[in-house]
Amino acid sequence: MVTCVNDAMFPDTGKAVVRLLRRLGVDVEFPVSQTCCAQPMVNTGYLDEAVPVVRNFVEAFAGYDAVVAPSGSCAGSARHQHSIVARRSGDPALAEAVAAVSPTVYELSEFLVDVLGVEDVGAYFPHTVTYHPTCHSLRMIGVGDRPIRLLRAVRGLRLVELPEAEQCCGFGGTFAVKNADTSVAMGSDKARHVGETGAEVLVAGDNSCLMHVGGLLSRQRSGVRVMHLAEILASTEDAATPKEHPVDAAHDSTEAAR
């Protein structure tokens, strides 16, 4: 499960997950009928609109040993909210399908540490990094210190502690737009704490939160980039994550001429 945000906006994260899991010997498939976990609808109050999306989700992911998502929030939505949507639909078959698929959904760090039993994934990333535990990964599904343990095992990586790490960054889905001022006030404090660490890279397990904090860090010309945990774990001595985005560069004549 690549998630809609990663599919449409952050394909490099999806590619990193594929690279990482294959390196660890996992048989990876991307069911092309997948779309979204329906959280944007559920958390904005549109339950009727969420029903076809959840139906599509359970059809796409039925029958796999594990559904791995590079997002604590989407994994949390599948595990905790799909049953609410199924109840709303009044369709017992959908409720049954949800009950079968939900328990197979894992956030990436959970899958690596609990199912594969690895903490050292053979990654190399020679940079100073600070980690933001996203709210849904921390409090909704409880990944605990799994991401930290994975990061500590990355060669060359220096992990610095983020002050007030457990405070929300202010993204909150449609909250970021419906209550934009409060959202930005929260994000500004998060960005300030990131700056205090002196890290080059802010890492997290959810690109939606990173899009918000990263958008603020970029607007401030902070010189700090944001990266998904999967991209750091996928980096090796042979194939360190390139500095520029290759997808972007391929379509950019200025970039190609440089």
Partner 1 sequence: MTATFVGMPPFPEAARQALADTQLRANLGHATATIRGKRARVVAEVEDWEQLRLAGAAIKDNTLLHLDEHLLRLEDSLTAQGVTVHWARDAAEACAVVAEVARSHGVDEVVKVKSMATQEIGLNEALAAEGIAAWETDLAELIVQLGDDLPSHILVPAIHRNRAEIREIFLRHMAAAGRPAPDDLSDEPARLAEAARLHLREKFLRARVGVSGANFAVSETGTLVVVESEGNGRMCLTLPEVLVSVVGIEKVVPSWSDLDVFLQLLPRSSTGERMNPYTSTWSGVASGDGPQEVHVVLLDNGRTRALADEVGRQALRCIRCSACLNVCPVYERTGGHAYGSVYPGPIGAILNPLLRGVGVDAQTDSLPYASSLCGACFEACPVRIDIPSVLVDLRAQVVDAHRASAHRLPKAEAVAMKAAALAFGSGARLGDAEKAAGLVGRLFGQGGRRRLPGGRRLLGRLPGPGAAWTDARDLPAPPTESFRAWWKRTGGGRS
Which residues, 81 to 120, sit near partner 1 by CB under 8 A? 81, 84, 88
Among residues 129 and 216, whose Cβ is nearest to partner 1? Answer: 216
> Distance (Å, rounded) from C-alpha 8 to C-alpha 10?
6
Among 121, 123, 217, 230, binds partner 1 (CB under 8 A): 217
Span from 14-22, 89-97, 108-116, 154-162 in contact with partner 1 (CB under 8 A): 14-22
Q: Is 247 in the site for partner 1 (CB under 8 A)?
A: yes
Instruction: Identify the CA nearest to 83 among candidates 99, 72, 103.
Output: 99
Size of the site for partner 1 (CB under 8 A): 88
> Distance (Å, rounded) from C-alpha 78 to C-alpha 86?
11
Q: Is 248 in the site for partner 1 (CB under 8 A)?
A: yes
Touching partner 1, residues 193-212 (CB under 8 A): 211-212
Nearest distance in Å: CB 95, partner 1: 17
Q: Is 229 in the site for partner 1 (CB under 8 A)?
A: no
Nearest distance in Å: CB 222, partner 1: 7
Nearest distance in Å: CB 193, partner 1: 12
Q: Is 165 in the site for partner 1 (CB under 8 A)?
A: no
Nearest distance in Å: CB 76, partner 1: 9
Nearest distance in Å: CB 12, partner 1: 8
> Distance (Å, rounded) from C-alpha 179 to C-alpha 148?
31
> Distance (Å, rounded) from C-alpha 258 to C-alpha 245?
14
What radius of gyration, in Å, describes the C-alpha atoms of the chain?
18
Among 177, 238, 256, 257, binds partner 1 (CB under 8 A): 177
Q: Is 21 in the site for partner 1 (CB under 8 A)?
A: no
CA angle 112, 117, 123 (to 5 degrees): 55
Q: With 0-12 CB in 10 A as exposed, 13-18 as middle and 19+ as buried, what is 117?
A: exposed
Torsion region of 17: left, alpha or beta (phi above 0 gives left; psi -120 to 50 gives alpha): alpha
Touching partner 1, residues 40-69 (CB under 8 A): 40-50, 52-53, 56, 60
Among residues 196 and 244, whose Cβ is nearest to partner 1? Answer: 244
Q: Which residues contact 188 (CB under 8 A, 6 or more apart)?
A: 216
Among residues 63 and 243, whose Cβ is nearest to partner 1? Answer: 243
193-222: b or e for each residue (b if 16 or more CB lie within 10 Å)?
bbbebebebbbbbbbbbbebbbbbbeeeee
